Every structure is written in C-alpha cells, then in structure tokens.
A and B are shown apart, each in its own frame.
Chain A
Amino acid sequence: MQLKAKTIGLVTTLSIACGPVWADPDTDQLTINGDITIITEAAAPSHMEYIDTIYSGWRFRSDETQAVQMDDFDNPGMLGVENALAAWDTEEGSEGKSCASCHGAAESLAGIRAVYPKWNEAKGMVTTLEMEVNNCRETRMGAEKWKYTGGDMTDMVALISSVSRGMPVNVAIDGPAQSTWEAGKELYYTRTGQLELSCANCHEDSYGLMIRADHLSQGQINGFPTYRLKNTKLNSVHARFKGCVRDTRAETFAPGSPEFIALELYVASRGNGLSVEGPSVRN
C-alpha cells in the first residue's frame, strides 16, 4: 500500500514535468465482438498478501493495441485458432483419430482453459493444457507429440482458450495441487540472475510503472496465448516465462519443466476471477 502511494506521487510529479505519461491501469472496458464481456479487474484472491485488485495485462496496453483485441477479424491471434480448427478435425497417428473423433466440436472444451493447470489423478501430478494435448496425441491418437512451445501446440491452446473466453479463471490451489502451488510461489518470489530480480519485483512491486519503454503489468496469464505485435506470433505461457527469467540475466528453466508447471499454476491462481481472454493481443 505504501509503495502504491509513493507511485501515485511519482506519477503526478512526472505528468506535471513532461505532459501525459503512462500510469496505473487505465479504466477501459473490454468487450470482444461487441458480445463477449471480459472481466479485466477483480478483487484479488484471498491468498494474495500484497495486492488488493488484480488487472488483466490488457488494461496496461495502449488504446491502439487494446483495439486489436476487441474484434476477432482484427485479432491476428485468431488465425492461429483457425489453423488449430483444421488440426482439430485432422485424423493423425496410428489410431486414425482426430481431436473431433473423441471431443466432437471444439466448443465442448468450454471451461477447460479456466481451470488449468490442474491436478491429474492418473498421472499423480499437476498438468498443463499443453501436456494434456500431447497426452491425447501420444496415447489416444498414436501421433507424435508437439513441441511444448511450438506453433501447432500454441495454436491449439489458443483454440481451447478461445472457447472459454469470458469465463472466470478458477484454478484449484488446495488439495493435491497445494505443494506444486507452494513451489510456484517460492519461484515467483526468488530473485534470480545477475540482476537479482524476482517476478514480484517487476509485476507486484512495480506494475503500472515504466521500465524503460515497457509499461509493467501484473504479469497475468489469463490472456494466453498472447499475440505479440513485437514478434508477430502467438506466444505461450512458458515462452513468456522464459523470456522474463532470461531478462534477469539468469539461467532459465525449460518450457514444460516441473518448475515452470508450478510457476504457471501459481501465476494462474493470481488471476483467479479475471476472465479467460486468450488469444489476446499485447505489444
């Protein structure tokens, strides 16, 4: 709280000194296709100790970037969804099955994105959507697994997210998932690399502030996969984590590693209450 008060003071001084500047999240509202209402601001889940209100990363982007996500015809991430719809119906592997053979229409997976990562009883571990997709490919279709952060995979996750848009994120952090969640929390607060910065240093202590040319958000993952105007492609959660850890001049973890699975569960839980909005658009 004290920190935020200081922040507001600083921002005010700056706006007097050099005209309009970025500040805390804006007050814009997000509706996609004039139809899907997205919750971009919510009371923080009770497990969060230092933040009262959570915000989607959308609220920290410029009006121009925000607008691209408001209509599926403008959102380049929807091209990935289209690719995945074709893959959804394509029979592959030794079993001659497609996703559609077992699941029917992609809409049947509505609600799934909102609760992942999730405890998988059969595997005895927390799994991500990517792992579940590969599990279907390998064991049910007899097809080759996809690369964790590859284009096919990220497109498919975008499709699965798109049918849950507007639903509140609601990952479970108790019961058998709890120890994984704790491990993720530990990582979130660990200061890594030669710059000795943790996720929390940037996305909890400093959101709303500029770090060089970047307007820091809370680092929420409700919008993933995100289409980034910077690299003009859909980006997966673990690819983003990798980039942020690398930027602390640290040795990163591998996509799909136990560490990033735990971190994903923890970061997802910090967004419990925000809407699923992937594929979103960011800069």
Chain B
Amino acid sequence: MKHGLGLGVAAIFAATTAFAEAVEPTDVVFVDGAVEMSLSGQPGDPAAGAEVMNKGAGNCIACHEVSDLDHLPFQGEIGPALDGVADRWSVAELRGIVANAKIMFPESRMPSFYKTVGFIRLGDAYTGKAHGDGEVQPLLTAQQIEDVVAYLVTLKED
C-alpha cells in the first residue's frame, strides 16, 4: 500500500514536469514590457538565481551592483544598482526585463537573455567563430530566467 502510493506520486510528478513545457523564446508574450506567466511553468529557485547573477551567461553583476551579493568582488556600474529592485518592479515586469530588457528599455545596453533570433554576426559562444546552422540557445534557459526573477523578488529595501 505504502509502496504503491510512493510510486503513484513519483509518476504524477514526472508527468507534471513533462507537461510543463517551457515557452519558446519566440512565443513569449510581452505586455508593456512585462511577462505574466512563468516561462518554464515552474516556480524559480532564488538560490540558483543568485548563482546565475554571478556566473556563466547570466553574469548580471558584470553590469549591476547588488549589495546582497557583497561577497562577490568586481561588481559593474553599467546598469543601475539592483538593491530594492522588487519595490520598483512587479514580478511580471522583472521577468520581462530579464527575458528581453529592450522591450521595457528601447536601445538598452542590457543583453536580451531569452531571445534566439535577429542577431548580427551571431557567434558560437565566445570562440569568435560563426554560430553555424545549429539551433540557437538563448543566453539563459526558461528555468534560469525564473530562478533569477525569484532572486530579484527578494531584493526589497529594508
């Protein structure tokens, strides 16, 4: 009996993950620069989001200061400091800004993290070589965007 239940729960969980399809980068609906629905269909993990802020294709602190991440050296100044950013923007707006900041802020220097088309001389990551014919991956996955947004939501002024 007990065993049966466990298996059943596992099966349902697997099914949910399989059915929660990520929204394709080309299908994201922006309303006034904001995106209402989770891109991955899942909630974000703020701890994972904090990692993306620092490393890899996210590297948000290359351009933004975040006091909450004070232990990380060399925070950039190209964009505004993100302290208290959750007081200034709703979750949907934050999701829209991270997915494609150029819709909220036309001509922004901020890269579009959930975008796969419309680039000039798209390269193969940082090799300097052409991208080739393979499928273009966005800078961050749908889940990484959700993780970052979940982290940004924690940035409230005391």
- The chain B residue with its CB closest to the CB of A212 is B62
B1 at the interface (CB under 8 A from A): no
| Total A-B residue contacts, Cβ distance less than 8 Å | 88
B61 within 8 A of A: yes
Given A190-B120, A195-B111, A211-B63, residue A249 in contact with residue B74 (CB < 8 A): no
Evaluate whether A14 and B65 lie within 8 angstroms (CB atoms) in the complex, with A193-B123, A249-B123, A252-B123 already known. Answer: yes
The answer to whether the Cβ of B122 comes within 8 Å of any Cβ in the partner chain is: yes
Q: Which of A34-42, A49-57, A95-103, A202-210 contacts B (4 or more CB under 8 A)?
A: A202-210
A196 at the interface (CB under 8 A from B): yes
B63 near A191 with CB under 8 A, answer no
Interface flag for B121 (CB, 8 Å): yes
Stretch among A62-70, A136-144, A239-247, A270-278 lining the B interface: A239-247
Nearest CB on B from A13, distance (A): 8
Minimal beta-carbon separation of B147 from chain A (angstroms): 20
B77 at the interface (CB under 8 A from A): yes
CB contacts (< 8 Å) of B74 on chain A: these are: 210, 212-213
Q: In the complex where A11-B77, A251-B130, A252-B128 touch, is A206 in contact with B119 (Cβ < 8 A)? A: no
Would A194 and B119 count as touching, CB distance under 8 A?
A: yes
- The answer on a CB contact under 8 Å between A201 and B109 is yes
A133 within 8 A of B: no
Q: For chain A, give the interface size range.
A: 20 to 34
In Å, the complex CA distance between A13 and B65 comes to: 12
Residues B111 and A210 in contact, CB atoms below 8 Å apart: no
Complex Cα spacing A250 to B78, Å: 20
Question: Quick check: A250 and B59 within 8 Å, CB to CB?
Answer: no
Cα separation A250 to B128 with both chains bound (whole Å): 6
- How many positions in chain B have a CB within 8 Å of any CB in the partner chain? 33
Closest to A13 in B: B81
**Contact partner of A192 among B59, B120, B129, CB < 8 A?**
B120
Closest to B119 in A: A194
Q: A191-B120, A194-B123 are in contact. Are A14 and B77 (CB under 8 A)?
A: yes
Name the CB-closest residue of A to B137.
A194
Q: B122's closest neighbor in chain A, by CB?
A: A194
Is B131 in the interface zone, CB < 8 Å from A?
yes
B126 in contact (CB, < 8 A): yes
Say yes or no: A205 contacts B131, CB within 8 Å.
no
**CB of A186, distance to nearest CB on chain B (Å):** 11
Q: Is there a chain A Cβ closer than 8 Å to B139's Cβ? A: yes
Q: Are B122 and A193 in contact (CB under 8 A)?
A: yes
* 19 A–B contacts, CB within 8 A, in A order: A10-B81, A17-B67, A193-B121, A194-B136, A195-B111, A196-B112, A196-B119, A197-B109, A206-B109, A209-B76, A209-B78, A211-B62, A212-B61, A249-B122, A250-B119, A250-B123, A251-B124, A251-B129, A252-B128
Name A's B-contacting residues (CB within 8 A). 10-11, 13-14, 17, 190-197, 201, 205-206, 209-213, 242, 245-252
The residues of B with any CB-CB pair to A shorter than 8 Å are 59, 61-63, 65, 67, 73-78, 80-81, 102, 109, 111-112, 119-131, 136, 139
